[in-house]
Structure 1
Amino acid sequence: MDRRVVITGVGGLCGLGTDAASMWKEMREGRSAIGPIANSELHDLEGMTGAEIKALPEHDIDRKQLVSMARFSLLAVLAAREAMRQAGLSCDEGNAHRFGATVGVGGLGWDVMEETYRALLLDGARRVGILAVPKTMPSAAAGQVSLSLGLRGPVFGVNSACASANHAIASAVDQIKLGRADVMVSGGSDAPFAWGVLKA
């Protein structure tokens, strides 16, 4: 079936801003988000620069949900919620099976991976938290977007290096064109600012 696919809402956050409108404004004005990294956990990496998200936008994600997410998943959820609001779409029991998500991730949950290694190798822990693997796997972002928005259609992660987000969006278009979904939330997310990643 040849279905027309359109973008009805966007969301995002990065070093330029914590919503799509502020990011777009900064880009149009030619601003750069590259600067010294202020994260106190990375204090001994002198001279390190990057496009750091200094603060997250206000949100209502509760502590229980936050504990189950690595940072890249949280960023994906915040952007997906903004896109759904902007599109004026909502998911309910009657249509949830027609809503899906694809999220591209270039890496994985580096923050959780590093925290886990530190616990095992430096702090002498005998085991890791039960959420370590589900939080770090590249498909976690798509899964968390699905859980947060109540999506029950096709949900999967895409991991193809720097092309991950574009690949995820193309895959979302395919899901709609093939009749597997009416709405797909799609994009990309990464959070590589972890000590070991930057030190390497």
Structure 2
Amino acid sequence: MDRRVVITGVGGLCGLGTDAASMWKEMREGRSAIGPLANSELHDLEGMTGAEIKALPEHDIDRKQLVSMARFSLLAVLAAREAMRQAGLSCDEGNAHRFGATVGVGGLGWDVMEETYRALLLDGARRVGILAVPKTMPSAAAGQVSLRLGLRGPVFGVTSACASANHAIASAVDQIKLGRADVMVSGGSDAPFAWGV
């Protein structure tokens, strides 16, 4: 348990910016991301405010992959990719079993729940989409990070309300100190803006 653990890369997206550098800059300048919600996918929530991510950064995740993800999972994948790039790390078949991920999620795939409720209750659908359950589970973000980065070590989600990301990071440290992994991608993700939330 004497193994030293260090943070070698960071990534992130929030209402202040779509990468870690722009987020830090805006925070240092004392800016707030809270304002009117503008996303048309939120079913015209007039007068609602929040710290919304107005636009996602350019990415190469194709439509087939996007269909399998709720928004909180996509945000986790984009942040994890940035952290891996910043750290100068890559995962290949030779070391994939030594790379893992822990992602904290305070909620679940609210956007998918919203779509599902609308389909069933308003549109008269007789069944839910086949991916509805795996997309909404809080552990989905960690699973998607693992899939998209090729990680084959310890991978799990952590859900403990507002402390989820902190607990995920502490759990990642434990995985390294216990010798279960050499590299852990860790953090938190949530995307709570939906009509029913």
TM-score above 0.5, yes or no: yes
Shift of 1:2: 1.2
Partner of 2:108: 108
Q: Does the Cα contact within 8 Å between 2:73 and 2:189 map onto a contact in 1? A: yes
Partner of 1:38: 38
State the alpha-carbon separation in 2 of the partners of residues 76 and 136 from structure 1: 14
Partner of 1:91: 91
After the TM superposition, which segments of 4 or more aligned residues of structure 1 sit over 6 Å from their partners?
Answer: none
State the alpha-carbon separation in 2 of the partners of residues 107 and 42 from structure 1: 17
Name the TM-score, length of structure 2 as normaliser: 0.98
Deviations 1:58-78 (A, max 9, x none): 000011100000000000000
Shift of 1:43: 5.3
State the alpha-carbon separation in 1 of the partners of residues 78 and 88 from structure 2: 16
Deviations 1:127-161 (A, max 9, x none): 11110000000000000000000000000000000
State the alpha-carbon separation in 1 of the partners of residues 98 and 44 from structure 2: 48
State the alpha-carbon separation in 2 of the partners of residues 32 and 121 from structure 1: 37
Name the TM-score, length of structure 1 as normaliser: 0.97
Deviations 1:32-72 (A, max 9, x none): 00001001243543321100000000000011100000000
State the alpha-carbon separation in 2 of the partners of residues 71 and 3 from structure 1: 35
State the alpha-carbon separation in 2 of the partners of residues 164 and 59 from structure 1: 26
State the alpha-carbon separation in 1 of the partners of residues 18 and 70 from structure 2: 18
Secondary structure at 1:185's aligned position in 2? Answer: strand
State the alpha-carbon separation in 1 of the partners of residues 76 and 34 from structure 2: 21
Shift of 1:101: 0.1
Secondary structure at 1:32's aligned position in 2? Answer: coil
State the alpha-carbon separation in 1 of the partners of residues 120 and 188 from structure 2: 30
Q: Give the fraction of aligned pairs with identical amino acids, expressed as a percent.
A: 98
Deviations 1:79-105 (A, max 9, x none): 000000000000001100000000000
Q: Does the Cα contact within 8 Å between 1:103 and 1:187 map onto a contact in 2? A: yes
Q: Does the Cα contact within 8 Å between 1:12 and 1:19 map onto a contact in 2? A: yes
Q: Does the Cα contact within 8 Å between 1:103 and 1:141 map onto a contact in 2? A: yes
Partner of 1:123: 123
Partner of 1:144: 144
Q: Does the Cα contact within 8 Å between 1:104 and 1:167 map onto a contact in 2? A: yes
Q: Does the Cα contact within 8 Å between 1:113 and 1:132 map onto a contact in 2? A: yes
Secondary structure at 1:161's aligned position in 2? Answer: coil
Moved more, 42-51 or 87-96: 42-51
Secondary structure at 2:77's aligned position in 1? Answer: helix
Q: Does the Cα contact within 8 Å between 2:43 and 2:195 map onto a contact in 1? A: no
Secondary structure at 1:175's aligned position in 2? Answer: helix
Q: Does the Cα contact within 8 Å between 1:41 and 1:195 map onto a contact in 2? A: no
Secondary structure at 1:138's aligned position in 2? Answer: coil
